């Protein structure tokens, strides 16, 4: 079968490899749609730890093709979404109910072969059934959505609150929709590209700001009477970390979601964080949220089609992951 492999930092290519078999407790999924994520680009550049060589692709949806020994939850033919993050269940973090902080975390498409391939073998407990008539492209959104749901849980948005979201990629545009569903009264999306600001306004943002055209901290403070209740940082760049913590109201929450390169330091002003009691809450991965994401996607409550800006075959994956995002690009979907 064909698979797109990360061979070393900065080197990715399509290869013919053995089709995987379903081991005990596993299912083999025929991949119908897989999303390219900002994290894939981080892995390609060596900014996020991964096993090498490995087939990337951790946001995917497909049909159960083969069922391994001891699997009773699938018979074959089901449309499934896969939670890529495999916690050990026995380390101190897992035993405290924090599987996303598992000391032995493995991840499909990161530390074991993933979905930029025709087939992928996964532990059956990672697969969640979707309605058979669901568009598999929508199914590919379950993984990023599950991470966003965890961030929204951490944000504890209450009806009537104000939320600022920095970064208008697919994550920021999913957060806009989730903040609206959580009852936020004011949702401010901050991103540089006009097309994304327009998309955010269509998806439920009440205001959209270009951070290059104005003093964004002053603008948000003006719009929110001194500061926003919740900031969700979804860009992962030093500038948005620095401006984001400054636009939180006194006693408000800053949700750290964007991935900055490992080892990168960002200066902050601890005095300001202290006297304003800015509540900094990182949100990492998708603990216990994948089934909720699958249910939301299945319900059709989210607008996903307009987030897909390109569909490609496996042959083009290396070029897209290794390149810079094109202007206007939101989500690229791979159809193996």
Residue numbers at the binding site for ligand NAP (CB under 6 A): 37-39, 42, 144, 147, 166-172, 190-193, 196, 211, 234-237, 239-240, 257-259, 283-285, 325
Closest C-alpha to 335, from 309, 305, 311: 311
Count CB-CB contacts under 10 A for residue 253: 21
CB of 28 to ligand NAP, least distance (A): 26
Which helix (DSSP H) or strand (DSSP E) does residue 15 occupy?
strand 11-16
For residue 247 the two structure tokens come to 């636009």
In eight-state DSSP terms, residue 21 is P
CB of 224 to ligand NAP, least distance (A): 17
Q: Which is nearer to ligand NAP, 186 or 260 (CB)?
A: 260
Do β-strands 331-334 and 308-312 pair in parallel, antiparallel, or remain unpaired?
A: parallel
Q: Which is nearer to ligand NAP, 235 or 294 (CB)?
A: 235
Residue carrying the six token digits 């004011």: 186
CB-neighbour burial class of residue 195 (10 A; exposed 0-12, middle 13-18, buried 19+): middle
Whole-angstrom distance, CA of residue 97 vs CA of residue 37: 27
Closest C-alpha to 228, from 213, 250, 210: 250
In eight-state DSSP terms, residue 310 is E
CB of 324 to ligand NAP, least distance (A): 10
In eight-state DSSP terms, residue 322 is H
Q: Which is nearer to ligand NAP, 71 or 285 (CB)?
A: 285
For residue 215 the two structure tokens come to 């003093």
Chain residue whose CB lies nearest ligand NAP? 169
Q: Which is nearer to ligand NAP, 20 or 114 (CB)?
A: 114
Q: Which is nearer to ligand NAP, 124 or 256 (CB)?
A: 256
For residue 264 the two structure tokens come to 């990168």
CB of 321 to ligand NAP, least distance (A): 12
DSSP 74-127: --S--EEEE--EE--S-SHHHHTT-GGG-TT-EEBTTTB--SSBSEEEEEGGGE
CB of 25 to ligand NAP, least distance (A): 26
Measured between alpha carbons, how far is residue 179 from residues 185, 206, 247, 292, 300 in Å?
9, 11, 17, 15, 16
User: Could you tell me the end-to-end alpha-carbon distance of the chain, in angstroms, rounded to an integer?
Assistant: 10
CB of 50 to ligand NAP, least distance (A): 13
Whole-angstrom distance, CA of residue 162 vs CA of residue 47: 32
């Amino acid at each position: 079968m064909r698979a797109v492999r990360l061979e070393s930092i900065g080197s990715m290519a399509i290869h013919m490899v053995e089709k995987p078999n379903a081991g005990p407790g596993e299912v083999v999924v025929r991949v119908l749609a897989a999303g390219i994520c900002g994290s894939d680009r981080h892995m390609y550049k060596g900014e996020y730890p991964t096993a090498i060589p490995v087939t990337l692709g951790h946001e995917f949806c497909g049909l159960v093709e083969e069922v391994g020994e001891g699997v009773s939850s699938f018979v074959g033919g089901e449309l499934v979404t896969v939670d890529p993050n495999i916690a050990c269940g026995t380390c101190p973090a897992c035993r405290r109910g924090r599987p996303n902080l598992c000391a032995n975390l493995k991840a499909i498409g990161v530390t074991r072969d993933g979905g930029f391939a025709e087939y992928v073998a996964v532990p059956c407990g990672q697969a969640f059934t979707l309605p058979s008539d669901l568009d598999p492209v929508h199914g590919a959104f379950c993984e990023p959505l599950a991470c966003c749901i965890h961030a929204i849980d951490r944000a504890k948005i209450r009806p009537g609150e104000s939320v600022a979201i920095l970064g208008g990629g697919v994550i920021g545009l999913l957060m806009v929709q989730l903040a609206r569903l959580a009852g936020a009264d004011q949702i401010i999306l901050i991103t540089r590209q006009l097309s994304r600001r327009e998309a955010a306004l269509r998806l439920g943002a009440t205001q959209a700001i270009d951070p290059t055209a104005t003093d964004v901290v002053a603008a948000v403070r003006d719009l929110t009477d001194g500061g926003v209740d919740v900031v969700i940082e979804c860009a992962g760049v030093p500038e948005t970390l620095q401006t984001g913590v400054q636009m939180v109201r006194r006693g408000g929450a800053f949700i750290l979601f964007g991935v900055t390169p490992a080892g990168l330091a960002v200066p902050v002003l601890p005095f300001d964080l202290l006297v304003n009691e800015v509540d900094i809450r990182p949100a990492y991965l998708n603990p216990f949220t994948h089934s909720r994401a699958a249910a939301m996607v299945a319900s059709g409550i989210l607008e996903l089609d307009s987030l897909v800006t390109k569909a490609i075959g496996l042959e083009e994956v290396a070029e897209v992951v290794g390149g810079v995002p094109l202007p206007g690009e939101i989500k690229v979907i791979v159809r193996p």
